[in-house]
Amino acid sequence: MQFEELRFITQQAALDIVEKHARPLPPTVVLPGPARTLLLTLPALPDDDQLRHEVLAELAAEHLTGDGVPCWGFVAEADVAGSDAVVAIFGARRHTPHVTAALFADDGSLDEFLAAEELDPTALPFLHPLQHAVDALPGAQDVFDRFDPKRAGPGGSVMQPPAAEDEGPDGPTLLPMHPG
């Protein structure tokens, strides 16, 4: 998967979330896979940055590191220059995360996304666990071959959403995560 494809997938996920969920939109982690993209909504994501960091560190350990997913996206509703918008942040192994946004149109849909730009390293520190997890994965060639449907060939790995009874290694997860 190319980084530009990741931008497209994350923006498409944002459009899908806007279409399927009432506002305020639930923050959602986007996990591209070989057969489909998994959207994990986080309806009770805490407001505190440290707690958000802990929740996303747990999610990264379970869904990025454990499954070897080499990239991620994050979609949330936000205030951009005084207007309601959706922000889409995306990152991949050894790629600085990028951010883009689209304002809500009068009819509730989204306007065009702005050109993506690098996310300031000090912005949104609660997202750092996602980037750290993908940067710690084995060499990109191995991982991208496995998760890129154009390279995976027949029988490529399919990501499955976690079963409802799944728990983290230390017991129940901190926050319910719902496949979107």
| Separation of alpha carbons 56 and 25, rounded Å | 18
Q: What are the Cα distances from residue 18, in Å, to 21, 89, 99?
A: 6, 16, 17
pLDDT digits (tens, 9 = 90+) for 100-118: 999 999 999 999 999 999 9
Percent of the chain with pLDDT strictly greater than 70? 76
**Which own/partner contact pairs does 101-110 have at CB distance under 8 Å and 24+ positions apart?**
102/11, 102/14, 104/18, 108/18, 108/23, 109/18, 110/14, 110/15, 110/18, 110/86
* Selection from 13, 2, 14 nearest residue 110 by Cα: 14
Q: Decide: pTM greater than 0.85.
A: no
